[in-house]
Amino acid sequence: MTKSNRTLNRVILLVLGLLAVLVGLTVGAGALPAVRDALRPTVTFPRSVDVPASSLWIVAGVCAVVVVLALAWAVTRGGGGTAIAVRERAGEDAVTVNVALVRDVVEHELAGAHDVVGTRVDTYLVRRQRAARIRVAVRRGGDAVTVLDAVDRAVAVLDRTLGRQVPVLVHLTGGTRSALARAGRVR
Amino acid sequence: MRNGPVERRIRRRSVHRSRSTAVTVSLTVLALVAAWVGTESVLRALGRGPLLADPQTVVDVALRPDATATTIAEVGAAALVVVGVVLVVLALGPGRRHRSAVEHHRGAVVVDTRIIATTAANAARTAAGVPEANASATARGRSTEVRVVPLSGVPVDEAAVREAVRDRLSSLDERFGRRVRVRVAEKGTLA
């Protein structure tokens, strides 16, 4: 639901992974005396190299850039959550509906529903549209079909309350609360 | 599925795992390493003492390693290769979570695999007329396996149970009802 770019995340992981493997293999092979002896005829290692002072500053600069870029990317992960479920503008005025209303409506509608042990609602800004995520915890041994029907009715009530159909994600899940909930005995 | 692009997007992103944690951890480690290398370079350039090892010493040791340096290099290299392979697998793997998208007329619906199994067990229990503890199910992808332990002396109609499970799962999403296996235990239990 968050707005992080998943393709770029994959690309970064791939680049870092390949880099780690390459560096690891090079260092690992280069440190082995057998490999060094085998390479001696073809590659000549210098006996010693002096690190010039100017290269130190270049290395330091490159490192600083890497640090800034890495931290900037790492810190900006996630996000996209919002407290406003609906925003309606009319000229100068704006009407906003808070998540709390959506949460109250959905939780109230699902409170007595069969096989439902808990509901969590949050809203996200997805592609500049506001979408609600409704996570419903289903009791162990429960029936997802009746739960989904109940969620449908709750979403219908929500649509009528808000006067529009906001995009919703319904997630039927287990979770710790449903694992601990007792099985229904009397029908 | 005739949901809007936003609902399609959030459903897809819900079924697949985010790599944000892995990316954040590896980038933080990279930043720490880069910060250390940068600090050592600056300290050397200013003529101060090193934190751990100054660049000149590192280059000298890399060109003529002794036994300790070789061991350290080998262990570090092995760890790097393992971490690298893990990252590449994370990057290229499908990263599916144990959830399935479900066709639905309103909203994007995602159901945990465990809940699909629970639903199958629920249908089997009702059809077989056994207590809840006597019916269990496992779901994997699109196929579901239901195990029923009958009550002693009360036969369980395997075909009826399979039909009931198929009906129930099909009303969730028709793809789930296609592969259903029912196993009825040989030995029953007391009611």
Query: So what's the pLDDT on residue B82?
Result: 95
Subunit contact B30:A16, Cβ cutoff 8 A: yes
Subunit contact A67:B77, Cβ cutoff 8 A: no
Query: So what's the pLDDT on residue A158?
Result: 92
Q: Which two tokens stand for residue A28?
A: 């690992």
Rounded Cα gap, residues A107 and A90, in angstroms:
30
pLDDT band at B187 (very low <50, low <70, confident <90, very high): confident
Q: CA separation (Å) from B90 to A11, A175, B26, B111, B136?
A: 10, 25, 12, 23, 33
Going by C-alpha positions, the residue among A108, A23, A99, A48 that lies closest to residue B87 is A23
- Contact call for residues B152 and B189 (beta carbons, < 8 A): yes
Q: Is the pLDDT of residue B98 over 90?
A: no
ipTM metric: 0.77
Quote the radius of gyration of chain B (alpha carbons, Å): 29
Subunit contact A1:B111, Cβ cutoff 8 A: no
Subunit contact B107:A74, Cβ cutoff 8 A: no
Q: Which amino acid is at B146?
A: V
- Smallest Cα distance from B133 to chain A, Å: 9
Q: CA separation (Å) from B109 to A4, A39, B60, B162?
A: 21, 60, 61, 25
Query: So what's the pLDDT on residue A179?
Result: 54
* B186 CB-near residues (< 8 Å, 6+ apart): none
Q: Are strands B179-184 and B108-112 parallel, antiparallel or unpaired?
A: unpaired
Interface test with A, best of B72, B80, B116, B176 (most A CBs within 10 A): B80
Q: Are strands B108-112 and B99-102 parallel, antiparallel or unpaired?
A: antiparallel
Listed as ranges, residues in chain A with pLDDT below 70 are 1, 45, 47, 175-187
With residue A108 as reference, give the H or E element that holds it. Answer: helix A99-110
pTM recorded for the entire structure: 0.77
Going by C-alpha positions, the residue among A183, A119, A179, A175 that lies closest to residue A150 is A119
Subunit contact B99:A21, Cβ cutoff 8 A: no
What HEC string does A54-99 produce?
Answer: HHHHHHHHHHHHHHHHHHHHHHCCCCCEECEEEEEEECCEEEEEEH
Q: Chain B residue with minimal CA distance to A46?
A: B63
Quote the radius of gyration of chain A (alpha carbons, Å): 28
Q: Which residues pair with B145 in a beta bridge?
A: B138, B181
Query: So what's the pLDDT on residue B1?
Result: 43
- What average pLDDT does range B36-58 have in this prediction? 84
Q: Which residues pair with B75 in a beta bridge?
A: none
Rounded Cα gap, residues A171 and A169, in angstroms:
6
Subunit contact B90:A17, Cβ cutoff 8 A: yes
- Smallest Cα distance from A71 to chain B, Å: 6
Cα A72 to chain centroid distance, Å, stands at: 17
Which residue in the set A9, A152, A169 is minimally distant from B10, CB to CB? A169
Q: Chain A residue with minimal CA distance to B165?
A: A143
Query: So what's the pLDDT on residue B35?
Result: 92
The backbone torsions φ and ψ at residue A72, rounded to the nearest 5 degrees and listed phi first, read -60, -45
- Smallest Cα distance from B99 to chain A, Å: 9
Report the SS3 class of residue B128: helix
Per CB-CB distance under 8 Å, the chain A contacts of B60 are: 48-49
- Smallest Cα distance from A75 to chain B, Å: 8
Mean pLDDT for all residues in chain B: 87
- Contact call for residues B111 and B175 (beta carbons, < 8 A): no
Which residue in the set B23, B107, B168 is minimally distant from A13, CB to CB? B23
Interface test with A, best of B110, B116, B118, B170 (most A CBs within 10 A): B118
Per CB-CB distance under 8 Å, the chain A contacts of B112 are: 171-174
Helical ranges in chain B per DSSP H: 5-15, 20-45, 55-63, 67-92, 113-128, 158-172
How many beta-carbon pairs below 8 A join chains A and B? 251
Rounded Cα gap, residues A28 and B70, in angstroms:
9
Subunit contact B80:A145, Cβ cutoff 8 A: no
Query: So what's the pLDDT on residue A17?
Result: 94
Per CB-CB distance under 8 Å, the chain B contacts of A20 are: 80-81, 83-84, 87
Rounded Cα gap, residues B53 and B37, in angstroms:
10
Per CB-CB distance under 8 Å, the chain B contacts of A179 are: none
Interface test with B, best of A135, A136, A145 (most B CBs within 10 A): A145
For chain A, list the domains and their CATH numbers: 6-75 (no CATH), 81-180 (3.30.70.1350)
% of residues, chain B, pLDDT over 90: 26
Subunit contact B63:A18, Cβ cutoff 8 A: no
